[in-house]
Structure 1
Amino acid sequence: MPIESKLEQVRALREHGYVVVPGLVAPERCEEMRDVARQQLIDAAMPVEFEADLQYPGAPDSKSAPGGHTVRRLLDAYARDALFADWAKSPDVRGWMEIYFGEQPVLSRAHHNCVMTKHPAYGSLTGWHRDVRYWNFQRDDLVSAWIALGAETVENGGLWFVPMSHKLTFTSDRFDSAKFFRADIPENEALIRSAVSPELKAGDVVFFHCNTLHSAGKNLTDEVKFSLVYTYRGASNPPLPGTRSASKEDVPLT
C-alpha cells in the first residue's frame, strides 16, 4: 500500500475515530482464516467465551438454557493458528501502526486478540461503549484492527460508530454501572442518532480508536459472522502493572 494512502487513512482515523481500509486482507488469505475459524468454532477449541458468560441483551440466561453453549469469542487468536498470528504482525499492519503511533507498535494480547463469532438466534447485541472502560494503560491511545472475514452489514450485526466521539469528554453519569453509554439520556440519544454503520466486505479492515463509541446489533441472518480483532499500542504506552492489561506478554512488531 502506498505511503500516501496510509497517511490519508491515519488522518481519517485521527479525525473521525475510525477508518475503513478496503481489501487490506487478500481474498485467499481471508478465506483461509475464515475456514480455520469455522473449524475451531465447530470444535469449540479452547479457550472460548460463551454468550451466556456475558449476559448481554439477547444472550441465553445460562449455559444450561437453550443456546447456552453459543460461542461469542474464540479467545487468544494470536496463539490459535499461524495464519492469525502472521496477519497480526504483517508488514501492512506494522507499517500502518508505525505511522499512527510514530514509534514501534506493540500487539496487546490481553485485549481483543480474538475471533468474534456472532450467531443467529443466540448472538447478543453489544451496547454503546468505549473499549478503554476496562483497559489500563499509561495513555488512552490504542487502536484496534477489526478484520471482516465475511460480509458485515446491519442485518448480520455489523459495527456502528459515533464519528468523532473519541475526542469527547464525558462525565461518569453518562454511563451505566457496567460502563455502557446510556441511551436514556437526551444528550446521549443525540449522539447515538449520528452513528453510522459501514458495510464491510470480506478482507476489509476497520481501524478504530479505543475511545470511539461503538456498538453492534444482533445477527438477523441465517449464517454465523466471523471477525478477527486485534489491539495495538505504542511502545511508550505500556499497561499498568498489576492490571488485566498487563496479564499477558505483549508482542512488539519488528
Structure 2
Amino acid sequence: MELTQEQLNQFNEDGFLIIKNFADSKLCDEILEKAKEHLVKKQAPIETEQEYMSLDEDKITVRRLRQVYDREEIFKKWMTNKEIRPILKQILKDTPVLTLAHHNSIMTKLPHESTRTYWHQDRRYWSFENDDLVSVWLSLGDEFLENGLLEFIPGTHKMKFDKSSFDEVDNFIDENEENQKIIEKRTHQNLAKGDIVLFHCKTLHHANKNSTDNAKISFVYTVRAQSNKPLKNTRSDFKEIVLD
C-alpha cells in the first residue's frame, strides 16, 4: 500500500495522518490479549504514572509497557508489518529503520487512574542527526476524548519555538499566552480498532486522562530514515531493525 499524493501532502502539511481500518481486527485482538497479560503482571520494563508525574504514591499504575518488540511474536509481527513499509518509505524518502530505544511500547490510559499527557513534541526522547522521525500509533479499540484520545496541533512540526515555550521537562506550557494561540488550533478525530495515526516527532500532541470505566490500550513504535543516524553514546544508539 502507498499513500495517495493528497494523503502525502496532508502529512507533510499537518504533521500527522489518520488511516482508517489499516490493521486487521484479528491481529488487534491478539495484540490486545497479550498486552493485557503483561499489564496484569505489571511485567517489566514498564513506565508508571507515578514516576512520570513524580507522584508520591505507593500504588503502581502502568503508563506504558516498554521494549515490547522482544516480548511477544505478535508485537514483533505488527512492528515489522510489510504493508506499511512503502508508506513509511514515502514519508521518510528513505528506507525506514525501526528504532527500539523508545516508543517501542504498549500505551495505556487506565480508567480513573491515568493522568493527563501534556502538550509535547516527541523529539525530546531521541538523539539523532535530525528530528525527522515518524511514529505509528495503532488503536486497539475505540479512542475518544473522554478516554484519552490523542489531539494534535497541525503544522507544529514545521514551527520553531523558543525554549521559554516549554517547561523543565519539555512540556509545552499551557499558561504561556503565545502558546495558547497555538493550542486553539488543536484538532482530533475519534479512532476505532485497526485505525492508525502517523505523526512527525515534532508535531505537538496531548491526551486527557481516562475518565471512563474502561482501559484504553494502544500500540506505538517509531521509525527513522536509514540516513538519519543515532548520535553515539546516547540512549538512541540502541538496537534497531532495518525495514527494507
The TM-score, its normalising length taken from structure 2, stands at 0.96
Cα shift at 1:150: 0.8
Is the contact between residue 102 and residue 125 of structure 2 (CA under 8 Å) also seen in structure 1? no
In 2, the alpha carbon distance for the partners of 1:154 and 1:79 equals 31
Match of 1:157 in 2: 148
Question: C-alpha distance in 2, partners of 1:252/1:8?
Answer: 27
| Residue 138 of structure 2 corresponds to residue 147 of structure 1 | yes
Aligned-pair identity in percent equals 39
Q: CA deviation at 1:7?
A: 4.2
Whole-Å separation in 2 of the counterparts to 1:238 and 1:6:
28
SS, match of residue 122 in structure 1: coil
Using the size of structure 1 for normalisation, the TM-score is: 0.93
Aligned length: 244
2:46 corresponding residue in structure 1:
48
Looking at structure 1, the residues matched to 192 and 150 of structure 2 have their Cα atoms a distance apart, in angstroms, of: 13
2:23 paired with 1:25: yes
Query: Helix, strand or coil: the match of 2:83?
Result: helix
Which residue number in structure 1 is paired with residue 218 of structure 2?
A: 227
Structure 1 unaligned regions, length at least 5: none
Q: What is the alpha-carbon distance in structure 2 between the residues aligned to residue 61 and residue 121 of structure 1? A: 17
231, 235, 243: which one aligns with 1:244: 235
Which whole-Å CA distance do the structure 2 matches of 1:139 and 1:10 have between them? 20
Kindly indicate whether the alpha-carbon contact (under 8 Å) linking 2:139 and 2:195 is maintained by their aligned counterparts in 1: yes
Aligned-pair CA distance for 1:120: 1.3
Q: What's the secondary structure of 1:238's corresponding residue?
A: coil
For residues 197-208 of structure 1, the aligned pairs below 5 Å read: 197-208=188-199
Partner of 2:56: 61
* Counterpart mapping for 1:101-250 below 5 A: 101-246=92-237, 248-250=238-240
Displacement after TM superposition at 1:49 (Å): 1.4
Cα offsets for 1:90-127 (capped at 9, x unmatched): 11221111111122110010121000011112111111
Deviation at 1:11, TM superposition (A): 2.2
Q: Once the 2 structures are TM-superposed, how far is the Cα of residue 9 of structure 1 from its aligned partner?
A: 2.6
Instruction: Provide the secondary structure at the position in 2 that maps to 1:25.
Output: coil
3-state DSSP class of the match of 1:100?
helix
Q: Secondary structure of 1:244's partner?
A: coil
CA contact (8 A) 1:7 1:99 kept: no
CA distance in 2: counterparts of 1:61 and 1:25, whole angstroms: 39
CA distance in 2, matches of 1:189, 1:22: 30
